[in-house]
Structure 1
């Protein structure tokens, strides 16, 4: 009788936050909007609960933002006074136009090297937020072929360089240009728009969707032209103020993109945008506002680039023999220090300011059938995107300013809540799904996780009450302040409800009969429940490497480097093991095929 009551109660508990496991292996389609009536929706937030949870959990974290790289969300973010940033270029002068700042020394050092002068877009130049498409890698993988050396800077292009026919330090065949490493500190708290995911990655996979489709109002045809040519086509629709006369430069219209984003930031009274590639960066719209130069030093004209293997950029379909230099290994090591956070409170994200396409009943499906797991904005109407952008402007106007700068704006630390949930359940769920091989051990683990929520003073403990306690345990003390808080909480409730109902389902499987008489299928059935839960959650913690040695890093694809194999199974490496691999990132050049996930 007790088991039957539990089973009936399980059905009742599921009503509280309905969600099917099948929706999590693909990016879901929400009902189409009626344009003018487009509003944020609790139903949409519940439908995309795992995506909302993961977006919050990965904010300003290199690991999760690299594996779930198609960001769909924006936040107001504050950089406190006294934070150091770095910039590498070929001039001792600070940029006079919008340009980039790196959070990490290793990131900026790659672009502070001496090298041949030449036109924008060539290797060894200043960094403008990312690389243009590299040559298609050779196919094959013959062990007799020497691995190709790879440097992050070899594919980078300047953001604000002069054109080849314009005067300037890069405009001729003169002696090699010197490299300069600039270090700045913030002189007061500065507020930025944080664009999540791999938003600094110049790919045609959707990493730029929130910038090009939503913020810039471009359409698929102009974006496709931009991807194929590497040149910035003129966006259709209303021109963004301040974008007129922008110079070319950088891959896939990066210079034009930076100028357009800074024009928006000027309207919104923000300092620029925070993005991520292989390392977090800021597009700072005005270097003279809020920054003080700490030092500007010329780098050695010739550097010992070291040796070693590994690495790799994106671009084509066949296997590619890769080799890392010492500099590229140490660059990756520096970036890997930010896998779980930017560190030292260098950037404070206002989670209560979140504006996300996941909040709206719009179609985020991917037209590429190979990657249904990646959300896209390519099927969302221009009118709907404009309304989301309008909402974003309203939220920024509400959340920026002294209250959020001082931390008194009532923001909820949703990432802290997500950390508590992931910390309690992630490793145990994975252990139950993949490692446990006895019913006794499975029973002990599930009892350990659920005993907290069961009132044993009752003759027949109420399962709905127990599931609700479990679901709300980490959410009960959270008091939503903004609309974003309410929608985030709705998404989080779906996640915690699925965790709790899955665990109680396993408990039911293992306690239906008397001890010692469980059917042989009970343990495999319990493991299936846990496997399905892992698929539903899509937590990137499940892909963690085992502990690496002190000489190694756990390597994942971080634009512009990485392979399909490293995406599917991140690995420890010290860069000495050059190996074949299919480049992960799609550059959008003619004839290139999209990467796939096995």
Structure 2
């Protein structure tokens, strides 16, 4: 949300200039199954993490878009220091704590970094837009919270990863470099960014953008469309007019104010829930689908900075093409949900193998247990009526690789690419486990050396898979939350090893970020 971007101070980013070359013909640069195979793990993980706070926080640089629909009957919230509801474009939160944080006026004596209005450049009117951001109010004692109920399906373009994170690490690449074709935008240009995105997607039949930071949010282009205000309330500083002094610390800040948000967001690590967002999985358009793109450069975070202008325009053109196909360009949404629930397919693969792989890699210490675990994972796919062992293994790997995709019937180009990626990942899992099993099947006297070798093979597989489930905290206390990087807060330690933290620990994190404000460049402890 625009105001959360101000929680960490101002900073600028200079990204590579786009090529001025003319667009290539449609058939010259297209998605390919070779690219889907090469980038299979990234595609698989993008689907697994889509619309989930946990995976999208850890894999924060998204490279993909999806057509999504918010159905009727969903509550969304808007926090502001303005006394009236906005007309749009503006932000809506799924979690009320997310909006409340922005509805709270700035506490007395609190440093201005957390609650000040946008930098001057953020107040500028964007080109081609007739709208302007709201004028700042000078009243620090009031804030306002408005709640809206959706009355009809609201079609949106969802950008995966932590796409609302105002960083120069790549979280904004799909917005600034791909959609806006504006790589030199300031990371803090939230209002120009919102207006530009609305100018882009509304002709396609969409009503806004869905993004994520510490909570999921909607950039709603027109608040008069498909929703009604159901409540509005004023809010005051806790110490004003009888506010509880216990809510205010010695520096004038609100105790536990960020903990409340993190706790609410943590309840949605696995998704928004209650059918709040319907994803059309067959509408996925991803830079991972395209041949010849160097998205990782030297092997770091995925970025679009090295992609040429004509390639970017081709990908952007495919996004538009897919959106128009799914919505009919009329913004109706909700009627074109893809035939294959790819996240459901991916979830079945992860749920079957994640705990088994970790146990075999870390918890098994003898050959007999390893043999039992490997057979338990693979016997389902082995046809023991086949006498030749090599033929039997090959047939079993084929059966294992397609076990969860047998019912998948691709309806779109993207469906086919996703199928290729999912089966590529499944084949790697199956063939690796059979490789480990052969250490024991061919040697009844297998010993600790065989166990160590099997664990090495499985650990290498886990390193390729990079499933975020393996980073989840053990059960936290009732007064704690599992702490992973949530824009605008985070550190390297919690990215590598998420951990349980209580309110006082998270408050200290907020104070630390407040007192050390500056650009988020990946070297200050945020993310990795």
Q: Is TM-score (shorter-chain normalized) higher than 0.5?
A: yes
The change in CA–CA distance for 1:101 and 1:437 in structure 2 (over 3 A counts) is same
1:188 partnered with 2:152:
yes
* Contact preservation (8 Å) 2:397, 2:430: yes
Deviation, structure 1 residue 115: 3.3
* Contact preservation (8 Å) 1:52, 1:488: yes
Deviation readout 1:191-216 (Å, 9 max, x if unpaired): 00001100000001100011111001
1:561 partnered with 2:489:
yes
1:503 partnered with 2:494:
no
The change in CA–CA distance for 1:527 and 1:158 in structure 2 (over 3 A counts) is farther
1:552 partnered with 2:516:
no
1:260 to 176, 188, 196: 196
Q: Equivalents in 1 of 2:409, 2:95: separation in Å?
A: 35
1:419 partnered with 2:419:
no
The change in CA–CA distance for 1:347 and 1:67 in structure 2 (over 3 A counts) is same
Q: Equivalents in 1 of 2:404, 2:124: separation in Å?
A: 44
Residue 24 of structure 1: aligned partner: none
1:213 to 160, 170, 177: 177
Residue 27 of structure 1: aligned partner: none
The change in CA–CA distance for 1:521 and 1:597 in structure 2 (over 3 A counts) is farther
Q: Equivalents in 2 of 1:482, 1:383: separation in Å?
A: 24
Deviation readout 1:61-117 (Å, 9 max, x if unpaired): 000000001000001000001110000112231112310000001100001113389
2:214 to 258, 264, 278: 278
Q: How does 1:58-207 map to 2 (within 5 A)?
A: 58-115=49-106, 123-125=114-116, 170=136, 172=138, 175-207=139-171
Residue 11 of structure 1: aligned partner: none
2:289 to 359, 382, 386: 359
1:39 to 30, 33, 41: 30
TM-score, structure 1 normalization: 0.75
1:296 to 215, 229, 232: 232
* Contact preservation (8 Å) 2:205, 2:331: no
Q: Equivalents in 1 of 2:487, 2:237: separation in Å?
A: 27
Residue 50 of structure 1: aligned partner: 41
Q: Equivalents in 1 of 2:485, 2:397: separation in Å?
A: 38
The change in CA–CA distance for 1:456 and 1:530 in structure 2 (over 3 A counts) is same
Residue 140 of structure 1: aligned partner: none
Residue 374 of structure 1: aligned partner: 301
* Contact preservation (8 Å) 1:38, 1:387: yes
Deviation, structure 1 residue 575: 2.5
* Contact preservation (8 Å) 1:99, 1:159: no
Superposed CA RMSD: 3.1
The change in CA–CA distance for 1:158 and 1:182 in structure 2 (over 3 A counts) is farther
* Contact preservation (8 Å) 2:40, 2:422: yes
Provide structure 2 residue ranges, at least 5 long, that are not aligned to the other structure. 1-22, 127-131
The change in CA–CA distance for 1:207 and 1:377 in structure 2 (over 3 A counts) is same
Q: Equivalents in 1 of 2:134, 2:501: separation in Å?
A: 41
The change in CA–CA distance for 1:307 and 1:570 in structure 2 (over 3 A counts) is farther
Q: Equivalents in 1 of 2:133, 2:157: separation in Å?
A: 34
The change in CA–CA distance for 1:116 and 1:306 in structure 2 (over 3 A counts) is closer
SS across alignment from 1:179: strand
Q: How does 1:405-554 map to 2 (within 5 A)?
A: 405-407=333-335, 409-461=337-389, 462-514=392-444, 517-554=445-482
Deviation readout 1:387-407 (Å, 9 max, x if unpaired): 111111111010115998444
Q: Equivalents in 2 of 1:465, 1:590: separation in Å?
A: 50
* Contact preservation (8 Å) 1:212, 1:218: yes
Deviation readout 1:473-496 (Å, 9 max, x if unpaired): 001110100001000000001100
* Contact preservation (8 Å) 1:75, 1:354: yes
Deviation readout 1:118-148 (Å, 9 max, x if unpaired): xxx853257x8xxx8xxxxxxxxxxxxxxxx
* Contact preservation (8 Å) 2:326, 2:336: no
Deviates more, 1:518-527 or 1:184-193: 518-527
Give aligned pairs, total: 480
Deviation, structure 1 residue 597: 7.8
The change in CA–CA distance for 1:522 and 1:196 in structure 2 (over 3 A counts) is same
Q: Equivalents in 2 of 1:304, 1:484: separation in Å?
A: 55
The change in CA–CA distance for 1:558 and 1:158 in structure 2 (over 3 A counts) is farther
* Contact preservation (8 Å) 1:70, 1:197: yes
Residue 3 of structure 1: aligned partner: none
* Contact preservation (8 Å) 2:207, 2:221: yes
SS across alignment from 1:576: helix
* Contact preservation (8 Å) 2:167, 2:519: no
Residue 387 of structure 1: aligned partner: 314
* Contact preservation (8 Å) 2:78, 2:146: yes
The change in CA–CA distance for 1:587 and 1:194 in structure 2 (over 3 A counts) is farther
Q: Equivalents in 1 of 2:342, 2:517: separation in Å?
A: 34
Deviation, structure 1 residue 460: 3.2
Residue 14 of structure 2: aligned partner: none
Q: Equivalents in 1 of 2:378, 2:348: separation in Å?
A: 16
Deviation, structure 1 residue 42: 0.5
* Contact preservation (8 Å) 1:433, 1:530: yes
Deviates more, 1:65-74 or 1:572-581: 572-581
Deviation, structure 1 residue 51: 0.5
Deviation, structure 1 residue 592: 8.1
Q: Equivalents in 2 of 1:496, 1:504: separation in Å?
A: 12
* Contact preservation (8 Å) 1:305, 1:327: no
SS across alignment from 1:97: coil
* Contact preservation (8 Å) 1:352, 1:411: yes
TM-score, structure 2 normalization: 0.84
Q: Equivalents in 2 of 1:572, 1:415: separation in Å?
A: 27
1:328 to 250, 258, 261: 258
